[in-house]
C-alpha cells in the first residue's frame, strides 16, 4: 500500500517553506519542509447481509466476460461536517475546518480485476450521482471501456442521503432501501453536510486498510476521484475545501460541472452556500482535469467558471457533445469495447421508455473523448506527463451563444470525426420535452443520403474523411488509437445505414 509519507512529499503545491538559520559567512538556501495533513478517520468495514444482490444501474454485460468481479462492502463510523474560516471566494482558495460529527453507515461497490496481475495500480473512485432520486455512475457509464481495458479498479461510493433514502422527486423508487430493503435496511446517513468526510473515509479504507482490505491482493498506487454533474459540483467543493486538509486523492476528474459548486453545509445544519462561477483553486497539489460538454457551458452555466490551464489544471471542452447522451444512458451499457456499432450516430428520443424527449438525444463524441481524458489523467498522475491543452468552444462576444459552422455544428473545442466528418448536427442544446431531464440530453439530426452524397460523394469518400479526422484527433491526444479504429469501422456502418 502506498506509504502516506511518500504521498505527502509529492504535494508540492502545498509545500511550506522555512528559512534555515544563517551561517557566519553566507545565507542558507530556503529548505522545503514536508507538508503536513490531517489524519482521516478509519471507517469500520463489514460485509453486507447475504440477501439479494448489490443494487446499481450500471453496465449490463457480465463483468466476468471482461475479467472483472464485483464486491460490495458497508462502511460505518463518525463523519464530520465542515465550516468555513473565511469567505468562500470564487477563486476556490477556501479555508475550512471540521465541525460537528454524526454517525453514518453506507456502502461502496467495487469492480476489480479477477487476476491481480491485471491490476494497473490505479483506483478510480466515483461519487455516485443521485439526481434521479437513486444512484447512478455516469462517469463509469461514459468511460467504463477505458477503465476496464486498462485494468483499473472502479469504486462507487454512496456518499449522499438520497442514494440511500430516496427523494419525493425521484424518477423511480430505486434508492437502496427501496431496491433491496433487507440488504440495505441498516444503512443510515446523517445528511449531505457530512458527505465530504464520508467520501474521504472511503478513500482512507482503500488507501490504508486496517482490519478488512477492500482490495485483497491488490496494491493501490494511485487514487483518482471522479464525479459527474451534481457529483462534479460536490467534487469542486471537495477539491477547494477538503483536499488541502487531508490530501486523500492523487488526482480528480471533474466531469460536466455547472457554474457553481455544492454547498459546504446544508440543512438541517446551518447552510454554507458556495458562490456562483467558482473556479478550481490554482494552488491545488494534484492534477485536476475538468471535462465539459456543450450543454455544460451555456445550459448549465459553466462558462462563468472558465479558467486558464496551469501545471495542475486542464479544461477540456468537447464539441458535438451533451451532458447526458445516448451512449452513456442507453447503448453503452452493453459495450465491452469491441463492436463498432456503438460508435454509429443514431436518432433515439427515449431512454428505456420512461424518459421521452421531443428530439433525438445526442449520440456524438462525448464517450470517446472521455476515454482519452481518463487515460490522460491517469498518465498525468502516474508520471507527471500533462494532458494536451485544448481549444475552447467558440462563443459570441457576449458569451451567450455558440458559433456554428455551415452545417450547424459548433466550432472550436476538441474536434473529432463526429464534427469534422459529420453525419449529423450534434448539439448539447436544442432539446425539449415533457420530462424534466430532457434539457440535459442535447440533440441529433442525421443528414439524409442526399446531403451525405453532397458532402462526401460516396462511401469511400466518407470513410476517408472519417479516417483523416480520427487520425488528427489521435495525433493531438484527444482520441485513443483503439477508439479511433472503432470509429473508422463505424463509418462503413453509418454510410450503409443510409441505404445508398
pLDDT (average), residues 148-174: 93
Find the Cα–Cα–Cα–Cα dihedral 270, 201, 109, 57, rounded to 10°: 20
Q: What is the pLDDT of residue 17?
A: 31
Q: Which residue in 6, 3, 45 sits closest to 216, CA to CA?
A: 45
pLDDT (average), residues 59-83: 98
Q: What is the pLDDT of residue 414?
A: 98
pLDDT at 23 over 90: no
13 versus 167: the higher-pLDDT residue is 167
pLDDT at 7 over 80: no
Domain boundaries, the chain: 44-286
The band of 433, judged by pLDDT with boundaries at 50, 70 and 90, is low
Q: Which residues of 78-101 are buried (b: 16+ CB within 10 A; e: fewer)?
A: ebbbbbbeeebeeebebebebeee
pLDDT at 12 over 70: no
Q: What is the pLDDT of residue 30?
A: 62
On whether the CB atoms of residues 399 and 302 are closer than 8 A, the answer is no
Cell numbers that stand for 483 in this block: 477508439
Torsional class of 191: left (φ above 0), alpha (ψ -120 to 50), beta (otherwise):
left
- Residue 317 CA to residue 415 CA, distance in Å, equals 10
> pTM of the prediction?
0.92
Q: Which CATH architecture has domain 44-286?
A: 3-Layer(aba) Sandwich (3.40)
Q: What is the pLDDT of residue 354?
A: 74
Q: What is the pLDDT of residue 31?
A: 60
Q: Which residue in 133, 41, 83, 98 sits closest to 269, CA to CA?
A: 83
Q: Which residue in 363, 373, 352, 367 sits closest to 441, CA to CA?
A: 363
pLDDT (average), residues 5-13: 39
pLDDT (average), residues 253-259: 97
Rg (CA), the chain: 23
Q: Which residue in 382, 482, 384 sits closest to 152, CA to CA?
A: 382
- Residue 313 CA to residue 305 CA, distance in Å, equals 13
- Residue 108 CA to residue 213 CA, distance in Å, equals 13
Could you read off the pLDDT of 379-391 as tens digits, one per residue? 999 999 999 999 9
- Mean pLDDT across the chain: 92
The band of 350, judged by pLDDT with boundaries at 50, 70 and 90, is confident
- In order, the DSSP letters of 373-408 are HHHHHHHHHHH--PPPP-PPBPB-TTSSSB-B-TTS
pLDDT at 179 over 90: yes
pLDDT (average), residues 244-266: 97
Q: Which residue in 377, 303, 328, 486 sits closest to 150, CA to CA?
A: 377
- Residue 414 CA to residue 372 CA, distance in Å, equals 11
Amino acid at each position: 500500500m502506498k506509504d502516506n509519507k511518500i504521498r505527502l512529499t509529492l504535494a508540492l503545491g502545498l509545500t511550506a517553506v522555512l528559512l534555515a538559520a544563517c551561517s557566519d559567512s553566507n545565507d542558507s538556501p530556503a529548505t522545503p519542509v514536508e507538508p503536513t495533513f490531517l489524519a482521516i478517520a478509519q471507517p469500520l468495514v463489514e460485509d453486507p447481509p447475504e440477501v439479494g444482490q448489490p443494487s446499481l444501474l450500471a453496465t449490463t454485460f457480465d463483468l466476468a466476460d471482461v475479467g472483472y468481479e464485483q464486491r460490495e462492502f458497508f462502511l460505518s463510523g463518525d463523519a464530520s461536517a465542515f465550516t468555513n474560516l473565511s469567505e468562500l471566494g470564487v477563486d476556490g482558495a477556501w479555508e475550512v475546518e471540521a465541525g460537528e460529527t454524526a454517525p453514518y453507515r453506507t456502502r461502496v461497490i467495487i469492480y476489480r480485476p479477477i487476476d491481480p496481475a491485471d491490476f494497473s495500480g490505479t483506483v478510480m473512485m466515483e461519487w455516485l450521482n443521485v439526481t434521479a432520486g437513486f444512484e447512478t455512475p455516469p462517469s463509469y457509464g461514459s468511460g467504463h471501456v477505458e477503465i476496464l481495458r486498462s485494468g483499473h479498479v472502479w469504486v462507487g461510493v454512496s456518499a449522499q442521503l438520497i442514494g440511500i433514502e430516496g427523494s419525493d422527486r425521484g424518477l423511480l423508487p430505486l434508492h437502496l432501501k427501496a431496491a433491496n430493503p433487507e440488504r440495505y435496511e441498516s444503512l443510515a446517513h446523517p445528511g449531505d453536510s457530512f458527505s465530504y468526510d464520508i467520501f474521504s473515509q472511503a478513500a482512507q479504507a482503500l488507501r490504508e486498510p486496517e482490519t478488512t482490505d477492500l482490495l485483497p491482493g491488490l496494491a493501490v498506487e494511485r487514487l483518482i476521484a471522479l464525479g459527474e454533474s451534481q457529483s462534479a459540483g460536490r467534487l469542486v467543493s471537495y477539491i477547494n475545501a477538503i483536499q488541502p486538509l487531508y490530501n486523500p486523492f492523487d488526482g480528480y476528474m471533474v466531469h460536466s460541472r455547472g457554474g457553481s459548486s455544492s454547498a459546504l453545509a446544508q440543512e438541517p445544519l446551518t447552510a454554507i452556500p458556495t458562490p456562483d462561477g467558482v473556479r478550481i483553486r490554482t494552488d491545488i497539489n494534484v492534477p485536476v482535469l475538468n471535462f465539459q460538454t456543450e450543454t455544460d457551458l451555456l445550459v448549465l452555466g459553466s462558462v462563468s467558471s472558465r479558467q486558464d490551464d496551469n501545471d495542475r489544471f486542464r479544461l477540456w471542452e468537447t464539441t458535438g457533445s451533451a451532458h447526458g447522451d445516448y451512449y452513456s444512458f442507453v447503448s453503452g451499457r452493453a459495450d465491452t469495447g469491441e463492436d463498432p456499432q456503438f460508435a454509429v450516430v443514431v436518432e433515439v428520443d427515449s431512454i428505456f421508455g420512461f424518459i421521452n424527449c421531443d428530439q433525438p438525444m445526442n449520440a456524438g463524441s462525448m464517450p470517446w473523448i472521455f476515454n482519452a481524458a481518463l487515460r490522460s489523467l491517469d498518465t498525468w498522475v502516474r508520471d507527471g506527463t500533462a494532458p494536451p491543452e485544448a481549444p475552447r468552444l467558440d462563443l459570441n462576444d457576449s458569451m451567450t451563444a455558440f458559433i456554428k459552422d455551415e452545417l450547424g455544428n459548433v466550432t472550436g473545442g476538441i474536434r473529432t470525426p463526429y464534427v469534422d466528418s459529420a453525419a449529423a448536427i450534434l448539439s448539447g442544446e436544442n432539446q425539449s420535452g415533457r420530462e424534466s431531464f430532457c434539457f440535459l440530453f442535447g440533440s441529433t439530426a442525421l443528414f439524409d443520403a442526399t446531403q451525405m452524397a453532397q458532402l462526401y460523394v460516396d462511401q469511400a469518400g466518407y470513410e476517408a474523411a472519417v479516417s483523416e479526422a480520427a487520425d488528427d484527433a489521435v495525433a493531438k491526444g484527444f482520441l485513443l488509437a483503439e477508439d479511433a479504429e472503432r470509429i473508422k469501422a463505424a463509418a462503413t456502418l453509418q454510410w450503409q445505414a443510409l441505404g445508398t
